[in-house]
């Protein structure tokens, strides 16, 4: 089985900006540099045939290159923990690309994504109830990066281990649809 997702990886200066924010909040499991990405679609576990069909189908996606930037921070909370994130803007071109990818996934036999798309880069996670994240959110509320061009997205395989997830790039897809 292959655990797959599709994402955009920010350029090194943006990853450095995000890494510089990390720390100083108790109970956080901060992401490492390898894990900084904006998920476009989580696929989940699929067998080899579905993975190959999907990888091939993704090459048909066409989109115009667009500019985005980091803008602000926020949190997702759940009963068993949550996540700190850096937002990405503008939302519209990312959401349009995520929708194209989702349609391609559905055509390849996967279930459609049911959650609303919220473009972000996860910075940290926590477990068990609330975490003291309000000072972090206030301190970095005006976070912004220089804009960068998105002209490709990547199919990743995620390998889970004791020290967390390791992400391996499987294929890159350019805005013209060519790997």
Q: Could you list the active site residues?
A: 37, 120
Number of H helices, E strands in the chain: 4, 9
DSSP state of 165: E
Exposure string for 65-101, b = 16+ CB within 10 A, e = fewer: ebebebbbbebeeeeebbbbbbbbbebebbeebbebb
Alpha-carbon span 63 to 86, nearest angstrom? 24
């Amino acid at each position: 089985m292959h655990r797959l997702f599709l994402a955009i990886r920010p350029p090194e200066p943006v990853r450095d900006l995000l890494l510089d924010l990390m720390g100083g909040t108790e109970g956080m499991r901060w992401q490492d540099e390898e894990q900084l990405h904006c998920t476009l679609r989580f696929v989940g576990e699929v067998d080899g045939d579905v993975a190959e069909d999907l990888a091939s189908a993704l090459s048909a996606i066409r989109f115009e290159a667009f500019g985005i930037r980091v803008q602000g921070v926020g949190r997702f909370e759940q009963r068993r923990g949550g996540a700190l994130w850096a937002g990405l803007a503008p939302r519209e071109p990312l959401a349009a690309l995520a929708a194209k990818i989702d349609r391609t996934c559905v055509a390849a036999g996967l279930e459609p994504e049911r959650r609303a798309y919220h473009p972000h880069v996860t910075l940290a996670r926590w477990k068990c109830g609330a975490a003291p994240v309000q000072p972090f959110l206030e301190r970095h509320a005006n976070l912004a990066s220089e804009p960068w061009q998105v002209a490709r997205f990547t199919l990743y395989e995620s390998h889970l281990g004791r020290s967390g997830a390791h992400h391996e790039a499987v294929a890159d897809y350019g805005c013209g649809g060519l790997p």
